Amino acid sequence: MRAASSVPSAHVRLPRARAWLVLGLLLAGFLVMVGRAVYLQGFNDDFLQARGEARFTRVIDIPANRGIVTDREGEPLAISTPVEGVAVIPGDVRKLDDAQIAALARVLGMNASAIRTRIDEARGDFVYLRRQVPPDQAARVLALRLPGVLLRREYRRYYPAGEVTAHLVGFTDVDDRGQEGVELAYQDWLAGKPGSRRVIRDRRGQIVEDIESLRVPQQGRDLALSIDRKVQYLAFRELKSAVTTHRARGGSAVVLDVHTGEVLALVNLPTYNPNNREKVTGQQTRNRAIIDLYEPGSTMKAFTIAAGIEAGVVRPETMIQTAPGSITIGPNTIRDTSAHGLINVTQVLQKSSNVGSVKIAMMLPADRFWQALSDVGFGAPTRIGFPGEAHGRLRSPRNWRPIEQATMSYGHGLSVTLLQMARAYIAFATDGEMRPLSIVRNDAPAPGVRVMSADTAQTVRRMLELATQAGGTAPRAQVAGYRVGGKTGTAHKVENGVYVNRYVASFIGLAPVSAPRIVVAVMIDEPSAGQHYGGQVAAPVFSQIVAGALRMLGVAHDAPSNNVVLPAPGSEVKEEV
């Protein structure tokens, strides 16, 4: 048996120098870590703060509620309703399995592969999958509890009057920016300014805490239009009936308040539903009354005669020889639809004689005739504030040939919009003053500008009334209980520089004649059901709109209720151009 002292010791003693070295290294490492911690947390905490915020905090926009658009009585024409946008954080949703993506696709009505593609192609840390989702659908998305899938509050524009006010109010895009009509023209007024806030999100991307508000949203301002929704519906109904009955390509109607220059109604066909624009075409969205140009035809004769009276070359009783029903200027011959023989100036307008109108125009110096047309707004925009408004075409008199001055007297050789024509007729209703037009309700209308004498305006107004009575071209424009005046137009359309047998039928008039309150302009494009004269196609629409509008506005009668006298069948006076 060995002695205990002979067993080797298990304890190894390190050299003193090596022990101090190890201890020194451990102490140095500890001091480095302490120093680094002090540096990061005490002197340079921005880095850690930024990394933490990058993982859990976000700055999100707070959308501003767009202002409401109303009619003049406060009835809503455009309002915003809250909806949700479904968005994802690409880095988080890439971890979702196929079953989760398929479930999300079913709720959103999308293809699962399309969702994967959108996520894979995302360049930022946020991408929308679907915009303007209704609340019930958004709730189903939230119920899936998918990491990285989140909701963002948005607003969707809703138009209570739908197709009736579509061309007037317009619409917004998915980002709530105005694209057409008033929505575009008054974008800055309606839109407001979005705000922002800083929030903390959990790992699923859902907001768990608001940290701070960075910018308070400024809500959009409301806008009251001049439109009377009841008159707007009336005008739309009557225009639609006429376009359907006469199988027309389209049409427009405008109702103006004579006293204020406000637009009480403006309608166009074809139209569209601004609440559902999936299949809307550019042709449907065109505001024909403001953008489309046409040759006004015989509705221009009122201004030709007014220019002649104002210049002193004719009076209402001045006799004009229109026989044999035609007139030749150079190689061109201008004809009346029917021979009228020797008639006075009043009858030239009443019977819509092209020959008589030409002879009056040719008595005027070219610059004097041009000035008369320019004064009432032809060749210039109305400046109503609508985007894309057309100027029309009225060439300088320096370049006129005799045939051009002749044809302009009955509305060929120049182009206008229906709104321009309606505005020009205000001069006859206001005893010679032009009023600025407004699509926004006027609390204090702008003063008018005199463009012709009161005597001339009143004289032409009496002539316009005769045009709607027996012996005139527009007896179908008469309204029970009211005296009305106006002028028909039946203009050939131009195709490739040549007049073709397709027509624009129009009627523009005022009521009541004793104290005019409204001007109504109606245009029917290419009626094709057998009738195409303005007195047959457009005048009845004027009559129905005026009858309803004057009642709605509470305008007193200025004629007995049995004042309407229609001509015997076959005796109606017709005019072409």
Do residues 263 and 164 both lie within one domain?
no
Counting Cα atoms < 13 Å in the Cβ hemisphere of 16 gives 0
DSSP 8-state symbol, 40: I
- As beta bridge partners, residue 60 has 197
**Does pLDDT of 167 surpass 90?**
yes
Q: What is the mean pLDDT of the segment spanning 107-115?
A: 89
18, part of any domain: no
Q: What is the mean pLDDT of the segment spanning 193-221?
A: 67
* pLDDT above 70: percentage of residues in the chain: 90
By CB atoms closer than 10 A (0-12, 13-18, 19+), residue 91 is: exposed
239, part of any domain: yes
Can you give the pLDDT at residue 192? 83
Phi-psi bin for 482: left (phi > 0), alpha (psi -120 to 50), beta?
beta
- Cβ-contact 462, 477 below 8 angstroms: no
**166 contact partners, CB below 8 Å, separation of at least 6:** 159, 181, 271, 272, 273, 274, 285
Q: What is the mean pLDDT of the segment spanning 146-174?
A: 91
**Does pLDDT of 145 surpass 90?**
no
Residue 228, amino acid: D
* DSSP H helices in 507-560: 534-537, 539-552
Can you give the pLDDT at residue 45? 60
Do residues 234 and 151 both lie within one domain?
no
Question: Which of the listed residues 209, 224, 239 is the one where a domain comes to its end?
Answer: 224
559, part of any domain: no
**Does pLDDT of 2 surpass 60?**
no
Helix (H, G, I), strand (E, B) or coil at 156: strand
Assign 3-state DSSP to the chain and report helix, strand, coil percentages, each to 5.
35, 25, 40
Threshold 0.75, pTM exceeds: yes
* pLDDT above 90: percentage of residues in the chain: 64
Do residues 248 and 179 both lie within one domain?
no
Residue of 298, 352, 438, 506 with catalytic role: 298
**Does pLDDT of 470 surpass 80?**
yes
Helix 354-362 × helix 301-311 angle, to 10°: 40
Do residues 91 and 173 both lie within one domain?
yes
CA-wise closest residue to 421 among 329, 512, 294, 325: 294
C-alpha dihedral, 443 to 157 to 274 to 388, nearest 10°: 50
Expressed as residue numbers, the domain containing 300 is 229-273+288-552
CA torsion sign for 438, 442, 448, 454 is positive
Phi and psi (nearest 5°) for 359? Answer: -65, -35
The residue assigned the tokens 């455009």 is: 78
**Does pLDDT of 322 surpass 80?**
yes
52, part of any domain: no
Q: What is the mean pLDDT of the segment spanning 170-175?
A: 92
Render the burial of 249-264: b for 16+ CB within 10 Å, e for the rest. bbbbbbbbbbbbbbbb
Render the burial of 271-307: b for 16+ CB within 10 Å, e for the rest. bbbbeeeeeeeeebbbbbbbbbbbbbbbbbbbbbbbb
166, part of any domain: yes
Do residues 156 and 265 both lie within one domain?
no
Can you give the pLDDT at residue 205? 52
CB neighbours of residue 354 within 10 Å: 28
Do residues 247 and 117 both lie within one domain?
no
CA distances (Å), origin 20, targets 25, 27, 32, 549: 9, 10, 18, 106
Q: Which residue has the higher pLDDT, 228 or 123?
A: 228
Rounded CA-CA distance 424/551 in Å is: 24
Place 150 in a pLDDT band, splitting at 50, 70 and 90: confident
CB neighbours of residue 437 within 10 Å: 25
CA-wise closest residue to 197 among 47, 57, 372: 57
Can you give the pLDDT at residue 1? 46
- Tokens at 206, concatenated: 């859902």
416, part of any domain: yes
Counting Cα atoms < 13 Å in the Cβ hemisphere of 148 gives 19
Rounded CA-CA distance 302/409 in Å is: 9
At 183-206, the pLDDT tens digits run 999 999 999 887 766 666 655 555
- Cβ-contact 90, 122 below 8 angstroms: yes
Q: How far apart are the first and last CA of the chain?
A: 143
Can you give the pLDDT at residue 217? 77
54, part of any domain: no
Specify the CATH number for the domain of residue 77: 3.90.1310.10
Helix 229-245 × helix 539-552 angle, to 10°: 160
- Tokens at 132, concatenated: 């303007």
Q: What is the mean pLDDT of the segment spanning 297-320?
A: 97
Specify the CATH number for the domain of residue 256: 3.40.710.10
Place 426 in a pLDDT band, splitting at 50, 70 and 90: very high
Rounded CA-CA distance 21/29 in Å is: 12
**Does pLDDT of 15 surpass 80?**
no
Q: Which residue has the higher pLDDT, 92 or 3?
A: 92
CA 367 to chain centre: 36
**Does pLDDT of 299 surpass 50?**
yes
The residue assigned the tokens 């309703």 is: 81
Q: What is the mean pLDDT of the segment spanning 251-268?
A: 97
Q: What is the mean pLDDT of the segment spanning 280-287?
A: 88
- Cβ-contact 140, 133 below 8 angstroms: no
Q: What is the mean pLDDT of the segment spanning 69-74?
A: 97
Do residues 207 and 296 both lie within one domain?
no
Q: What value does the mean pLDDT of the chain take? A: 89
Do residues 321 and 268 both lie within one domain?
yes
In the chain, the number of structural domains is 2
3-state secondary structure 290-355: HHCCECCHHHHHHHHHHHHHHHCCCCCCCEEECCCCEEEECCEEEECCCCCCEEEHHHHHHCCCHH
- Cβ-contact 506, 297 below 8 angstroms: yes
Place 394 in a pLDDT band, splitting at 50, 70 and 90: very high
DSSP 8-state symbol, 41: I
Q: What is the mean pLDDT of the segment spanning 533-542?
A: 97
Do residues 314 and 208 both lie within one domain?
no
173, part of any domain: yes
Counting Cα atoms < 13 Å in the Cβ hemisphere of 133 gives 24
Do residues 510 and 436 both lie within one domain?
yes
CB neighbours of residue 17 within 10 Å: 7
CA distances (Å), origin 331, targets 313, 340, 354, 402, 403: 26, 23, 17, 11, 9
Q: What is the mean pLDDT of the segment spanning 405-432?
A: 97
Do residues 220 and 311 both lie within one domain?
no
Do residues 198 and 240 both lie within one domain?
no
Can you give the pLDDT at residue 446? 81
Question: Which of the listed residues 200, 224, 248 is the one where a domain comes to its end?
Answer: 224
Supply the Cα-derived Rg of the chain in whole angstroms: 37
Does the active-site annotation cover 298?
A: yes
Helix (H) or strand (E) holding 484: none
**Does pLDDT of 528 surpass 70?**
yes
Rounded CA-CA distance 220/68 in Å is: 8
